[in-house]
Amino acid sequence: MISRLPTETTSASVGSAHTGESQDYATRAYEEALALRPSLDAGLAAAFGAIPRADDVRVTVHSVPAEDGHSVELRWHERQDTPVPGSAVVYVHGGSMVAGRLDDYEHLVNHYVHRTGVPFLSVGYRLAPEHQGTVPAADTFAGVRWLFENAERSGVDAARIAVMGDSAGGGIGAGAVLLARDHGLRPAAQILIYPTLDDRTVTPDPTLTEHVVWSYEGNRTAWTALLGTARGTDAVPAAAAPARTTDFSGLPPTYLEVGQLDILRDETLDYARRLYRAGVPCELHVRPSAVHGFDWIDPAAEIAQHAMRDRVRRISSL
């Protein structure tokens, strides 16, 4: 299941014979990703730290072994004042593949649980550049499989489990859904919020560059941190970059959301188009004049509130 790409584990290994990124760039991307992590984590902590505490949500910690034996941390978020509705969501945090912490995302996940009453399982997948290829998606799939296997004990109907993620977490979640399908599990839905799906989104669009919040260069650095010199080549597996999949059959109903001014817009639209062509139900929202992360740049704005209402509606409908 875990795909070993040319640049796994250490910066010294970056730069194999595969074409794609040059050895020098792949090595630099590895180092830049490590340097970028603290600022990304600080930004996420600041954004979500402003969310009001959900004191009615209890969090319990579990773990599950990944395919290679690594212990993946899982956190079960459950509202205490209401019966479990039978549905549940596996949540995959963002952070450009190289950052993001369960502690920082706890406020956001608890907020969704507070608003919907639906319990969430958040997954502490391993990050690039230390862990590359399909490792993040495989870790997330381990969490998905754990919830399916423990559904009855958790008061969950296994037919009503969704996978949800934002930004890098949306792409990693989509990769985990592909793995789940290929292993005979079918989540009820995937809810992908401005997801990173395609490692080839690195060429600037002049109509977007003046509005960019998440940059093309940052996107290239993040994808190269995950894929090394394989980025941009045919060696990239679909579980690592879901836009690479050629088989959309058997995927669950999908909710897709992206900003009009987000560099991830076109890959999100293309993913929706391919889902439609495969006969997969897809609810698509392109938020007018919105950039990447618009909902947490100004959470009080009407467009952010509208987006949150749509997400709450979709989660509640599981």
DSSP for 225-273 reads HHHGGGTTSTT--TTTSGGG-S--TTPPPEEEEEETT-TTHHHHHHHHH
User: Is 166 one of the catalytic residues?
Assistant: no
Give the Cα separation of 241 and 220 in Å (integer). Answer: 13
Give the Cα separation of 52 and 110 in Å (integer). Answer: 10
User: Is 41 one of the catalytic residues?
Assistant: no
Judge whether 4 lies within some domain.
no
Judge whether 106 lies within some domain.
yes
Judge whether 233 lies within some domain.
yes
Cis before residue 206, ω within 30 degrees of 0?
no
Judge whether 184 lies within some domain.
yes
Q: Which of 167, 198, 199, 295 is catalytic?
A: 167
Domain of residue 276 covers 11-316
**pLDDT of 11:** 32
Digit-by-digit pLDDT tens for the chain (318 residues) are: 555 454 333 332 333 334 578 878 888 888 999 999 999 999 999 999 889 999 999 999 999 999 999 999 999 999 998 888 999 999 999 999 999 999 999 999 999 999 999 999 999 999 999 999 999 999 999 999 999 999 999 999 999 999 999 999 999 999 999 999 999 999 999 999 999 999 999 999 998 887 788 999 999 999 999 999 999 999 999 999 999 999 999 999 999 999 999 999 999 999 999 999 999 999 999 999 999 999 999 999 999 999 999 999 999 999
**pLDDT of 31:** 92
Q: Which of 104, 166, 262, 295 is catalytic?
A: 262
Give the Cα separation of 11 and 19 in Å (integer). Answer: 17
CATH number (domain holding residue 245): 3.40.50.1820
49 φ, ψ (degrees, to nearest 5): -65, -20
Judge whether 255 lies within some domain.
yes
What's the number of domains the chain is made of? 1
185-209 in b/e form (b: 16+ CB < 10 A) is bebbbbbbbbbbbbbbbbeeeeebe
Judge whether 119 lies within some domain.
yes
Q: Contact 303/288 with Cβ under 8 angstroms? A: yes
**pLDDT of 17:** 34
Judge whether 5 lies within some domain.
no
Give the Cα separation of 150 and 78 in Å (integer). Answer: 15
User: Is 167 one of the catalytic residues?
Assistant: yes
Amino acid symbol at 7: T
Judge whether 3 lies within some domain.
no
3-state DSSP of 291-314: CCCHHHHCCCCHHHHHHHHHHHHH
